[in-house]
Amino acid sequence: MSTARHSTARSIAAHGVLILYTMIALFPVFVIVVNSFKSRRAIFADPLALPTPATFDLVGYRTVLQQGDFLLYFQNSMIVTLGSLFFVLLFGAMAAFALSEYRFRGNALMGLYLALGIMIPIRLGTVAILQMMVASGLVNTLMALVLVYTAQGLPLAVFILSEFMRGVSDDLKNAGRIDGLSEYTIFFRLVLPLVRPAMATVAVFTMIPIWNDLWFPLILAPSEATKTITLGSQVFIGQFVTNWNAVLAALGLAIVPVLVMYLIFSRQLIRGITAGAVK
Amino acid sequence: MGALTLSQVTKSFGRTDVIKGVDLAVEDGEFCVFVGPSGCGKSTLLRMIAGLEDVSSGEVAIDGARINELAPARREIAMVFQSYALYPHLTVRDNMGLALKQAGSSRAQIAAATDKAAGMLALGPLMDRRPAELSGGQRQRVAIGRAIVRTPKLFLFDEPLSNLDAALRVATRIEIARLHRELGATMIYVTHDQVEAMTLADKIVVLNAGRVAQVGAPMDLYNDPDNTFVAGFIGSPQMNFLKSGLLGLRSDLLGIRPEHLAISTETGQIAGRVSHVEKLGGETLVYAATEGHGLLTVRLFGEHDFAVDAPVWLTPDAARTLHFDAGGQRLRH
């Protein structure tokens, strides 16, 4: 009964639920952004009020831009996030291709081993990681963070991408082999473009935890030159006094780059360029 | 240039034997069709010839030279796939020219070869389109064109018509037959459709469970099958199998084609009742339920009327009967 499926009441109910969920999800972001534009007194007087001409104050942003080297922190976060993302996608896709494409002894075991990382939090190994970084002289370098985040992101990337790569037409890869394409060309030119939506999904899921992470920057790279934005924002949170204007302004600013990256990747998620490859 | 020989070729996936010792010789310029039910190993055998699957044991040779260890691109073969497998990011022209480009041919050579193939298949107006902008039939023509451009020793077709609708399938079938005549190239063609096999092949290889059941020209297989499998697989509607004992014969099974079974409302050898009648215009198929032999099919040419449930008598044409033993092997006298 198509009339039942398309009834207005159902449609309104579905939209109601979705709008409610969106509001719940966006509420904290909204509070952060709104309060970052208010004076300290106004934040505490009425946290949910919008900034009025009387309460509007950019002191938070001024503090952030004057104190500390926020531009450098941003740059560090960007380097670490994009660097890790690049390696996760490259190595994840390569491992996924090998697992999905080639029959070899221990294929299933290898896949399981690579997926194990999804279940075991990498933070359990923090002490050992720190020891290794100290031994290899990588403490207080961005490289240390890139390496750790790459390791952290790979299991999920391999897991998701190998599922998608299994879906890529065998005929297409075989046609490439018969036409004399190397396995690398088949991987980069035929398979990767077809799993682009999956790559974007992996990119989003990998990027956000890295950008937001406080743990590893604090332990592995806390020096002034290597601080990331999340770690940099912590200078405003004290044991006794917290500069809320500055914290909220820093967080408000930190949302922007990740939002931009998300918008870039989500376009890929939606755009299906695969049509016409097979069938 | 283009004779294929398989000697004692086998293929196992783990403990499962998929191909169990196949010997085959395909002559230069021959159109050879592998046919069989799904899971009989026909596609696997084709992929082994292409080099996409390793050969577990035995030898694959083109023009007498062993190619078991050669990479697919170096076997001088071209393959057309069921799903077309066109490169989505390349135009029709680039799709067709890629293999030559990879082989290091000059731009002029590539252009000449692609234009010639495009001319043969009437692809001229489509050359700058991408696969996504083509219909299914056009995509398959491009895929065939891509194979022609390489001037291979061996053309391999893996169920190329399965994704096309019925009208397009007939048209493309005729097109492939025409190309075979024009190019004079050796072609190996895999299909599960026995009509395609009968209409295209010089030589049909019927495969059953990883073994060759029989090799021969289409009419040889139709008129002179070696066993009940081939007799039942080739021909539509299927051959009727009668129990010889009930007819007072010494063999175990008696095979008779539906068109060699006479039907009468008055008298005959086997009594039965009409259970269903299919009128196709040019021919009429009568299904008669008989005691002992089960449902038998009679093919009559032209239009005929039979009432369902009416009693009928069937008589096999003794000159056209085939006799089989209990194991399904043909008994030749």
A277 near B CB under 8 A: yes
Residue B294 sits in a domain of what CATH number? 2.40.50.140
Contact A275 B79 (CB under 8 A): no
Are B224 and B244 within one domain?
A: no
Report the pLDDT value the prediction gives residue A275, as an integer from 0 to 100: 38
Residue B75 C-alpha, separation from nearest chain A C-alpha, in angstroms: 9
Are B194 and B320 within one domain?
A: no
Are B184 and B281 within one domain?
A: no
Are B42 and B142 within one domain?
A: yes
Q: Which of B82, B102, B130 sits opposite A276 (nearest CB)?
A: B130
Which tokens is A162 given?
């190998």
Report the pLDDT value the prediction gives residue B289, as an integer from 0 to 100: 93
Are B93 and B183 within one domain?
A: yes
Domains in chain A, ordered, with CATH?
Answer: 2-57 (no CATH), 67-270 (1.10.3720.10)
Are B313 and B209 within one domain?
A: no
Are B153 and B101 within one domain?
A: yes
- B contacts of A272 (beta carbons < 8 Å): none
Tens of pLDDT, residues A192-232: 988 888 888 888 889 989 998 999 999 999 898 998 988 88
- B299 phi and psi, to 5 degrees? -110, 120
Q: Which residues in chain B come in under a pLDDT of 70?
A: 1, 333
Q: Which of A171, A177, A189 sits opposite B83 (nearest CB)?
A: A171
Residue B214 sits in a domain of what CATH number? 3.40.50.300
B54 near A CB under 8 A: no
b/e map of B41-68 (b: 16 or more CB within 10 Å)?
bbbbbbbbbbbbbebeebebebeeeebe
Residue A6 confidence class, pLDDT cut points 50, 70, 90 = low
Q: Which of B79, B84, B134 sits opposite A278 (nearest CB)?
A: B84
- A contacts of B146 (beta carbons < 8 Å): 175, 179
Mutate to test the interface with A, among B96, B102, B153 (most CBs of A within 10 A): B102
Helices (H), chain B: 42-50, 92-103, 107-121, 136-149, 166-183, 194-200, 218-223, 228-233
Are B40 and B164 within one domain?
A: yes
Are B181 and B117 within one domain?
A: yes
Residue A4 confidence class, pLDDT cut points 50, 70, 90 = low
Residue A181 C-alpha, separation from nearest chain B C-alpha, in angstroms: 7
Contact B134 A274 (CB under 8 A): no
A179 near B CB under 8 A: yes
Q: Which of B167, B198, B230 is the last residue of a domain?
A: B230
Q: Phi-psi bin for B70: left (phi > 0), alpha (psi -120 to 50), beta?
A: beta
Prediction ipTM score: 0.83
- Domain with B254, as residue range(s), is 237-331
Report the pLDDT value the prediction gives residue A38, as an integer from 0 to 100: 87
A177 near B CB under 8 A: yes
Contact B130 A194 (CB under 8 A): no
Q: Which of B230, B257, B284 is the last residue of a domain?
A: B230
Residue A92 C-alpha, separation from nearest chain B C-alpha, in angstroms: 23
Are B167 and B270 within one domain?
A: no
Q: Cα(A57)–Cα(A233) distance, rounded to whole angstroms?
A: 19
B72 near A CB under 8 A: yes
Which tokens is A267 given?
């376009």
Q: Which of B103, B131, B163 sits opposite A180 (nearest CB)?
A: B103
Are B129 and B250 within one domain?
A: no
Which tokens is B119 given?
């001319």
A171 near B CB under 8 A: yes
Q: Cα(B208)–Cα(B109) distance, rounded to whole angstroms?
A: 43
Tens of pLDDT, residues A42-63: 888 888 888 888 888 888 888 8
Residue with tokens 């879906």: A167
User: In percent, how much of chain A has pLDDT > 70?
Assistant: 93
Q: Which of B52, B77, B131 sits opposite A276 (nearest CB)?
A: B131
Q: Cα(A179)–Cα(B77) distance, rounded to whole angstroms?
A: 9
Are B105 and B200 within one domain?
A: yes
Asked if the model's pLDDT at residue A278 lies above 70, the reply is no
Residue B159 C-alpha, separation from nearest chain A C-alpha, in angstroms: 12
Q: Which of B230, B255, B284 is the last residue of a domain?
A: B230
Contact A175 B82 (CB under 8 A): no
Our count of domains for chain B comes to: 2
